[in-house]
Amino acid sequence: MSSLNPFPEQFADRLAIRELVDAYAHLADRRDAQGQAALFTEDAHVAVYDGEPGAEPAQTLNGRDELAAAFGSLRNYDKTTHFNGQSTVTVDGDRATGETYCLAHHLWTEEGQRTLMVMSIRYHDAFVRQDGRWLFAERRLIVDWVDRRPSTA
């Protein structure tokens, strides 16, 4: 069977993984850093790349405490909106991998000027099911491009 038509028992897993990915974006926009960190395994690893992986990551984070601290930096923005687009997921028992596209919008005011930054991001994820719940075990955040400009809205 092709990856586009997984076995019926994988539908629930694929839906739960998509809900996990969407919960991450929702909690980011609600500034719930602890809630975001709880979506990861205790020993999760996150690496941020400016462009394709292969070069050294611009930032690495390990474990929920480091993740929560980093996620808290979103409070520096007045507003954010993370919009998840297409994604692929491959499930293999209690493990899965996937890629999700995201447009992340960040709005803030600096020296009286409102600024909008839009980032095109791809997340390369490794998921694991623990105690019946899907979690992020590893996340590689790849920034494909950034557009930063004054905002009039």
Residue 125: which of 82, 80, 79, 91 has the closest Cα?
91
Arithmetic mean of pLDDT, 27-48: 98
Residue 77 backbone phi and psi in degrees, to 5: -100, 150
**What type of residue sits at position 67?**
L
Cβ atoms < 10 Å from Cβ of 113 = 9
pLDDT value for 1:
42
Residue 149 predicted with pLDDT over 60: yes
Q: Can you give the pTM of this predicted structure?
A: 0.91
The residues that bridge with 87 in the sheet, in sequence order, are 100
51/41 Cα distance (integer angstroms):
26
Residue 68 predicted with pLDDT over 80: yes
**Contact between residue 27 and residue 39 where contact means Cβ atoms under 8 Å apart:** yes
pLDDT value for 147:
97
pLDDT value for 6:
54
Arithmetic mean of pLDDT, 57-68: 97
Residue 37 predicted with pLDDT over 60: yes
Residue 10 predicted with pLDDT over 70: yes
115/119 Cα distance (integer angstroms):
13
Q: How far apart are the first and last CA of the chain?
A: 48
- Tokens at residue 59, please? 């930032």
pLDDT value for 5:
56
Q: What is the mean pLDDT of the chain?
A: 93
Arithmetic mean of pLDDT, 77-89: 97
The secondary element (H helix, E strand) that includes residue 11 is helix 8-29
